[in-house]
Structure 1
Amino acid sequence: MYLDQLMMFLAMVERAALLLMALYFLTHMRMFQTIIAKQSRSSIELTVLTLFFTLFAIFSTYTGVHVEGSLVNVRIISIVSGGILFGPWVGIPVGLISGIHRYLIDLNGPSSIPCLITSVLAGLLASWVHIRANYSNYAKYGFLVAASCELLTMALIIALNQDKALAYSIVHAIALPMILGSLCVILIIKWLQDMESEKDKVAAYQAKQALKVANQTLPFIRQNSPDALKQVCKIIRNETQADAVAITDTQDVQVYVGHGEEQFCKVHTQISLMTQKAIRDNRIIESNDIREHAFRSLMIIFV
Structure 2
Amino acid sequence: MLHLLPFMIEKIGIIVIVAFLLSQMKSFRQIVQGEHKTSGKIQLTILFGAFGIISNYTGIEIHHNAIANHSWLVTIGSDNAIANTRIMGVFIGGLIGGPVVGLGSGLIAGIHRYSLGGFTATACAISTILAGVTAGYIGKWRRKSRKITPFFTVTVGMTLEAVQMIIILIMAEPFANAWELVKVIGLPMIIGNGFGTLLFVVIIQSVLGDEERTRAFQTNRTFQIADQTLPFFRQGLNPVSCKEISEILLLGTDADAVAITDDHRVLSHVGAASDHHTPLEGLATGLTKKVLEQGVIHVARAKKDIYCFQDDCPLQAAIVIPLKVHNTTVGALKMYFTHPEKLNEVQQELAEGLANLFSTQLELAQAEQQTKLLKDAEIRALQAQIHPHFLFNAMNTISVLCRTDAERARELLIDLSAFFRSNLQGARQLLIPLEKELEHVKAYLSLEQARFPNKYQIVWEMESGLEKVLLPPFSLQPLVENAIHHAFSNIKKNGKIIISIYAENEFMNIVVEDNGIGIKSERMRVLGGQTVDSKKGTGTAIYNITERLEGIYNGRASLMIRSEVGKGTLITMAIPLDHKGENE
TM-score range, shorter-chain basis? Answer: 0.7 to 0.9
1:270 partner SS:
coil
Q: Sequence identity of aligned pairs in percent? A: 28
2:93 partner SS:
helix
The one-letter amino acid paired with 1:253 is: V
**Residue 139 of structure 2 corresponds to residue 141 of structure 1:** no
Larger radius of gyration: 2
| Counterpart Cα distance in 2 of 1:259 and 1:193 | 40
| Counterpart Cα distance in 2 of 1:209 and 1:296 | 25
Aligned counterpart, 1:46 = 41
- 2:239/2:268 contact within 8 Å kept: yes
Q: TM-score, normalised by structure 2?
A: 0.46
The one-letter amino acid paired with 1:137 is: I
| Counterpart Cα distance in 1 of 2:84 and 2:284 | 60
1:256 partner SS:
strand
CA spacing shift, 1:290–1:75, aligned 2, 3 Å = farther
Shift of 1:5: 3.4
The one-letter amino acid paired with 2:46 is: L
Aligned counterpart, 2:125 = 116
2:240 to 201, 222, 227: 227
Shift of 1:73: 1.7
Superposition pairs of residues 2-151 of structure 1, within 5 angstroms: 2-21=2-21, 23-24=22-23, 27-29=25-27, 32-39=28-35, 41-68=36-63, 69-106=80-117, 109-134=118-143, 136-151=147-162
Structure 2: unaligned runs, 5 residues or longer: 64-79, 307-312, 324-330, 332-584
CA spacing shift, 1:150–1:37, aligned 2, 3 Å = closer
The one-letter amino acid paired with 1:91 is: G
Aligned counterpart, 1:166 = 177
**Residue 248 of structure 2 corresponds to residue 253 of structure 1:** no
* Matched positions, count: 296
| Counterpart Cα distance in 2 of 1:295 and 1:105 | 59
Q: Deviations over 1:51-94 (max 9, x none)?
A: 22223312322332211211122210110111111111201222
Q: Deviations over 1:200-239 (max 9, x none)?
A: 2221222222222222222222323311221111122222
| Alignment root-mean-square deviation, CA | 2.9
| Counterpart Cα distance in 2 of 1:206 and 1:164 | 60
| Counterpart Cα distance in 2 of 1:277 and 1:34 | 31
Aligned counterpart, 2:209 = 197
- Relative contact order higher in (CA < 8 Å, ≥ 6 apart): 1
| Counterpart Cα distance in 2 of 1:192 and 1:86 | 13
The one-letter amino acid paired with 1:5 is: L
| Counterpart Cα distance in 2 of 1:193 and 1:258 | 40
- 1:64/1:73 contact within 8 Å kept: yes
Shift of 1:171: 2.3
| Counterpart Cα distance in 1 of 2:294 and 2:82 | 57
1:230 partner SS:
helix
| Counterpart Cα distance in 1 of 2:278 and 2:257 | 12
Q: TM-score, normalised by structure 1?
A: 0.83
Runs (4 or more) in structure 1 with deviation over 6 Å come to: none
Shift of 1:99: 2.1
| Counterpart Cα distance in 2 of 1:232 and 1:74 | 56
- Structure 1 or 2: larger helix share? 1
The one-letter amino acid paired with 2:44 is: L
- 2:83/2:189 contact within 8 Å kept: yes
- 1:60/1:73 contact within 8 Å kept: yes
Aligned counterpart, 1:240 = 253
The one-letter amino acid paired with 1:94 is: S
2:119 partner SS:
coil
- 1:245/1:298 contact within 8 Å kept: no
| Counterpart Cα distance in 1 of 2:15 and 2:88 | 10
- Structure 1 or 2: larger strand share? 2
| Counterpart Cα distance in 1 of 2:15 and 2:174 | 30
Aligned counterpart, 1:212 = 224
Q: Deviations over 1:98-155 (max 9, x none)?
A: 224423442xx33223312321221122112221214642433332222112222223
- 1:84/1:138 contact within 8 Å kept: no
CA spacing shift, 1:73–1:283, aligned 2, 3 Å = farther
2:148 partner SS:
helix
The one-letter amino acid paired with 1:122 is: A
- 2:81/2:119 contact within 8 Å kept: yes
CA spacing shift, 1:283–1:185, aligned 2, 3 Å = farther
The one-letter amino acid paired with 1:206 is: Q
| Counterpart Cα distance in 1 of 2:230 and 2:317 | 23
2:103 partner SS:
helix
Structure 1: unaligned runs, 5 residues or longer: none
- 2:8/2:192 contact within 8 Å kept: no
| Counterpart Cα distance in 1 of 2:240 and 2:281 | 19
| Counterpart Cα distance in 1 of 2:139 and 2:234 | 50
